Structure 1
Amino acid sequence: MSSLSTLPLSVLDLAPIRAGGSAAETFRNSVHLAQETEALGFNRYWLAEHHNISGIASAATSVLIGHIAQQTTHMRIGSGGIMLPNHPPLVIAEQFGTLATLYPDRIDLGLGRAPGSDGATMHAMRRAPQAGVDDFPDQLAELQRYLGTPEPGQRVQAIPGQDTHVPVWLLGSSGYSAQLAGRLGLPFAFAGQFAPGYMYEALDLYRTNFRPSHVLSAPYAMLGIPMIVAETDERAQWLATTQQQKFLNLIRGQTTRLQPPVDTLDWLPHERIAVERHLGASIVGSPETARAQLKQLIERTQINELMINTDAFDMNDRLNSYRLLAKLRE
């Protein structure tokens, strides 16, 4: 059983664009955060594919992964995740095969099957509404062929890509990917940072359905959660109003650019319930509070790794949260 002192900690960077900020500022912040967390001993740094979302700058996910990998030295850099149904598997194999060739043994390929966008954006990407619902396992198998050792007579190859064996993870917020990852013997990451409601059931399904493979001999589960650590509970709760506003604005169909913290939130009861549902796995508080909540979470989930997303408006508060988290392991 892992403890806080031994559990690998990783970073989920949703590449947030701040109110009054820009994508260029976001990219500078991402480099700074990756370098800082690498120095603090964090294990991986993942970026997610989203499209047509005003507050997220990581639409060209593989490009940004390469940018971060170039300016770090040993931390694993990857996707959390690439939405595979948006792309031909060959193209993703070529992109990540190129990344793995440039940065050997440092690239992860986390995959999801959601669109990462709305219906109009799906149409703009030429994505059929049901794409990925029934054929995701076939797409995954095709992608794995392009990343693996070429088969005899294989007419189409990913160059680069073949023989890179980029580690593939399945990501999800429900039981589908959990069961598929288990059956295929792949590592699984649960998206507790926005959909924690099915967390325990999905982790249980993954472990129950797990079959050993050439990739893993035992299940390996990672959990993503939102987290804000500050010197006091009061300051952490105040900083956390930024992430609350993000989900509140998402519910209202307004901009998801990060907003400054506020003393009070003007929300209706049903909006508050919805926001709290999205953030149900979040840990917010002082180092002492965070330590106690993390210990309970680790005991309940028996996870192998924890991936932290910190939505703080000010970059210094964001960096400070990861620094305080790292100190909890001492």
Structure 2
Amino acid sequence: MSTADTAFNENASSNLKDVKFSILELAPIRDDGTAKDALENAKRLAQHAEKLGYHRLWVAEHHNMKGIASSATSVLLGYLAANTSTLRLGSGGIMLPNHAPLVVAEQFGTLATLYPDRIDLGLGRAPGTDQITMRALRRGRFETEEQFPQDVSEILTYFDDAKAGQQIIAVPGQGSKVPVYLLGSSLFSAQLAARLGLPYAFASHFAPRMMMQAIALYRENFQASAYLDKPYVIIGVPSLVAESDEEAKYLATTNYQRILALFRGQPTNLVPPVASMDGLWSEVEKRGVEGFFGVEQTGSKETVKHGLEELLQRTQADEFIFTCDVYDPEKRLKSFELLKQIQGESQ
């Protein structure tokens, strides 16, 4: 086992009470439902998360993707904020190449003005969509991923107090100090977050391969800043908790079918679970889906508790942000309830 695959501190705590539990929402659309149903379910999940004591709920930006209703991320966040009272809400993330930094600062500055001390801005470097859709979003703008550091710095300027002679001011937004998080699935954003002294969220919920290397790079190169005095690591964790391992594995087939369809270039809405995936995927496709869910925690409370303790020992993460796509909305809410019970019952 390489150094990057081992814990950074052999004496690190594996007590789940020491890590924050949060949720990443994509507003999934069922095959027998509508986008409105998905947005209503997102509202219910946010209210459920607030009641259960989750730290935050973030919404992911995706475009032209069948089955996901979270494309207008800041608009959805306003809806969720209006229907909750204390839960932190944010983007996980805004895909910055798709947007002008000033517009992002104004949108999130407005949210922060309306809902003080509750709004986060997570920023991603990739467009998060296909090339045709990317061009439709940009409408002639020639932004590239290489401009990401400059765009992040521009947004930080808008959220800071205005400087003498500053020609462009975000209204609302200027001086709002909205917390900014950098998201990534490779090493680039880890390096940038370390250099800027910003918290870092790794997208291990869909791309876990470079997780340990990225976390190590971030921690080793972190420079304290006005935003953060020490590294702060969030990792994405696909999860599904049920009354038994068998039930959880059955319910998880909904998500396996979704990712399989995505791999085939045929995105789909959420579909009902199946008794077995045998015959639905080839061996190569099975390995691909399993790689996608490399840090997945699925099973009974006991099984997931053990898996999360191992993951925490391995990564020393400050926060887990959980994804969970279940066909039955009630069972999805139940999964998050059982997940929070795991944390509460940890010794």
- Same-fold call, TM > 0.5? yes
Match of 1:276, SS?
helix
1:124 corresponding residue in structure 2: 136
- 1:210-237 deviation line (CA, Å, top 9, x unaligned): 0000111110000111000000000000
- 1:319 corresponds in structure 2 to 333
Q: Distance in 2 between matches of 1:76 and 1:196?
A: 25
Q: 1:281 aligned to 2:306?
A: no
Q: Displacement of 1:273 after TM fit?
A: 1.0
C-alpha displacement of 1:151: 1.1
Q: Write the mapping of 1:154-173 to structure 2, written as runs, cut at 5 A.
A: 154-173=166-185
Q: Residue 271 in 1 paired to residue 285 in 2?
A: yes
Residue aligning to 2:41: 29
* 1:97-150 deviation line (CA, Å, top 9, x unaligned): 000000000000000011111011011112679733221111111111111111
C-alpha spacing 1:128/1:233, structure 2 compared with 1 (3 Å): farther
Which has the larger displacement, 293-302 or 251-260?
A: 251-260
Tell me if 1:228 matches 2:240: yes
**SS of the residue aligned with 2:146?**
coil
Cα separation, 2, equivalents of 1:329 and 1:90:
39
Alignment partner, residue 10 of structure 1:
22
Gaps of 5+ in 2: 1-11
In structure 1, C-alpha distance between the alignment counterparts of 2:48 and 2:255, rounded to whole Å = 22
Question: Contact between 1:85 and 1:127, CA under 8 Å: does it hold in 2?
Answer: no
User: 2:101 is matched by which residue type in structure 1?
Assistant: P
Q: In 2 relative to 1, CA 302–214 (structure 1 residues): closer, same or farther, beyond 3 Å?
A: same
Partners of 2:99 and 2:138 within 8 A in 1: no
The aligned amino acid for 1:299 is Q
Percentage of identical aligned residues:
52
- The corresponding residue for 2:108 is 96
Kept in 2, the 8 Å contact 1:122–1:129? The answer is no
Residue 192 of structure 1 deviates from its aligned partner by 0.9
| DSSP-derived class of the 2:18 partner | coil
2:4 aligns to what? none
Q: Which runs of 4+ in 1 moved over 4 A?
A: 127-130
2:60 touches 2:91 (CA, 8 Å); kept in 1? yes
CA deviation profile, 1:24-70 (whole Å, cap 9, x unmatched): 00111011111111111100000011100011101100000010011
Q: Give distance in 2, aligned partners of 1:232 and 1:297.
A: 21
Deviation string, structure 1 residues 57-102 (Cα, Å, up to 9, x no partner): 0110000001001111111000000001111100000000000000
**2: CA distance between counterparts of 1:329 and 1:125?**
41
Paired residues for 1:104-253 under 5 Å: 104-126=116-138, 131-253=143-265
Root mean square deviation, CA, Å: 1.2
Alignment partner of 1:42 out of 51, 54, 60: 54
2:270 corresponds to which residue? 258
| Distance (whole Å) between structure 2 residues aligned to residue 68 and residue 179 of structure 1 | 32
User: CA 1:306–1:205 in 2, change beyond 3 Å: closer, same or farther?
Assistant: same
Question: How far apart in 2 are the matches of 1:252 and 1:324?
Answer: 33
Q: Deviations over 1:236-285 (max 9, x none)?
A: 00011011111100011113311110012211111111111111111010
CA distance in 2, matches of 1:199, 1:35: 31
> Normalising by structure 2, what TM-score?
0.93
**Partner of 1:293 in structure 2?**
307
Matching residue of 2:90: 78
State the alpha-carbon separation in 1 of the partners of residues 31 and 210 from structure 2: 32
Judge conservation of contact 1:122–1:128 (CA < 8 Å) in 2: no
Contact 2:252 2:298 in 1 (8 A): yes
Report the residue type matching 1:290 in the other structure: V
Q: How far apart are the structure 2 equivalents of 1:151 and 1:127?
A: 31
